[in-house]
């Protein structure tokens, strides 16, 4: 099912590229939204089967990325019903391909201990949701950085007639809302991600205390998760108190995402595929 979902995302990527290449102001039609919804259902079933198909709770580097991207793409699909963010579609569909191919190429993972604990499953669900929201926020920040750079390039120079590839690149941003609208969407994503990350930290403390007797074990996952939580907390505080915005907000968002990436996915990759642990 992961392979079928990857094929679906690849097909949607082709449709998105053709739309951007041939229309000055591309818009996602109902057929594309329905197609993405069907691929998301298939992707969700693939994640569910890979995690819980054999009766155990299994998680690994590739499966964690697939699950996080799936939740993030569900958020994107829902958000696209109300806000014109079609410019992000051509960026996200290839990521969907990568996220669904990874579990096919790297099916290794580990069975989570104490998986019969309902609280542990709730904690993992909240943590994956937080990871997904912050991943989408980081991608949103990259989109904003690209749009901001393009505006500066246009204002700084008056280039000759661009090549076809440059025209397609320009059209990619024609459907993107103004930067102020994108900024409001970014902080909405960060607020939701921060709340979910806070709940993940609290539920993690409860689970760790009940299973090991230690509320905050000083391992890499705890340290990097808390660093990410502090980064986003300071960003939101700076937004409210000092009015942080623009490039400052983008940098803090990407730093917080990098910490969260190191908390699980990056270290799982090192342990599973480099150290074989």
- The mean pLDDT of 104-127, rounded to a whole number, is 75
Assigned domain for 160 exists: no
Tokens of 44: 């969700």
Q: What is the pLDDT of residues 12-27, one digit of tens each?
A: 988 877 776 666 555 5
Assigned domain for 16 exists: yes
How many separate domains does the chain show?
A: 2
Q: Are both 213 and 81 inside the same structural domain?
A: no
Q: Are both 178 and 241 inside the same structural domain?
A: yes
Q: Are both 132 and 260 inside the same structural domain?
A: yes
Assigned domain for 33 exists: yes
Q: Are both 104 and 41 inside the same structural domain?
A: yes
DSSP string, 74-133: HHHHHHHTTS--GGGHHHHHHHHHHHHHHHHH----EEPTTTT-HHHHHHHHHHHHHHHH
Assigned domain for 158 exists: no
Separation of alpha carbons 186 and 136, rounded Å: 9
Q: Which stretch of DSSP H or E encloses residue 228?
A: helix 220-241
Assigned domain for 165 exists: no
Q: Are both 106 and 207 inside the same structural domain?
A: no
Which of the listed residues 60, 86, 112 is the one where a domain comes to its end?
A: 112
Assess contact for 206 and 119: CB atoms under 8 A. Answer: yes
Q: Are both 132 and 252 inside the same structural domain?
A: yes
Band (pLDDT 50/70/90 cuts) for residue 267 is low
Q: Report the candidate in 259, 250, 207 with the shortest Cα–Cα distance to residue 231.
A: 259
Integer-rounded Cα radius of gyration of the chain: 20
Burial readout 118-137 (b: 16 or more C-beta within 10 A, e: otherwise): eebeebbebbbbbbbbbbbb
Q: Are both 140 and 255 inside the same structural domain?
A: yes
Q: What is the pLDDT of residues 76-93, one digit of tens each?
A: 888 777 766 666 777 788
Instruction: Supply the pTM of this predicted model.
Output: 0.74
Which domain does 235 fall in, by range? 125-149+174-277
């Amino acid at each position: 099912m992961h392979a079928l979902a990857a094929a679906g995302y690849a097909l949607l990527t082709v449709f998105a590229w053709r739309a951007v290449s041939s229309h000055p102001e591309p818009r996602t039609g109902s057929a594309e939204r329905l197609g993405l919804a069907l691929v998301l259902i298939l992707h969700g079933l693939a994640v569910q089967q890979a995690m819980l198909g054999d009766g155990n709770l299994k998680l690994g580097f590739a499966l964690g990325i697939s699950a996080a991207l799936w939740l993030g793409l569900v958020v994107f699909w829902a958000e696209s019903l109300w806000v014109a963010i079609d410019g992000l579609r051509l960026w996200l569909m290839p990521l969907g391909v990568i996220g669904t191919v990874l579990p096919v190429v790297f099916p290794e993972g580990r069975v989570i201990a104490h998986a019969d604990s309902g609280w542990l499953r709730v904690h993992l669900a909240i943590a994956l949701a937080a990871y997904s929201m912050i991943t989408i926020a980081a991608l949103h920040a990259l989109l904003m950085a690209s749009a901001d750079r393009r505006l500066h390039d246009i204002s700084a120079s008056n280039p000759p007639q661009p090549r076809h590839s440059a025209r397609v690149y320009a059209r990619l941003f024609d459907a993107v809302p103004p930067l102020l609208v994108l900024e409001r969407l970014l902080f909405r994503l960060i607020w939701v991600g921060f709340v979910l990350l806070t709940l993940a930290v609290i539920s993690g403390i409860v689970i760790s205390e009940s299973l090991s007797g230690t509320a905050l074990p000083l391992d890499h996952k705890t340290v990097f998760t808390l660093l990410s939580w502090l980064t986003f907390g300071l960003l939101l505080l700076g937004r409210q108190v000092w009015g942080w915005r623009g490039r400052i907000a983008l940098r803090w968002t990407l730093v917080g995402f990098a910490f969260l990436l190191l908390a699980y996915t990056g270290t799982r990759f090192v342990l599973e595929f480099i150290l074989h642990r």
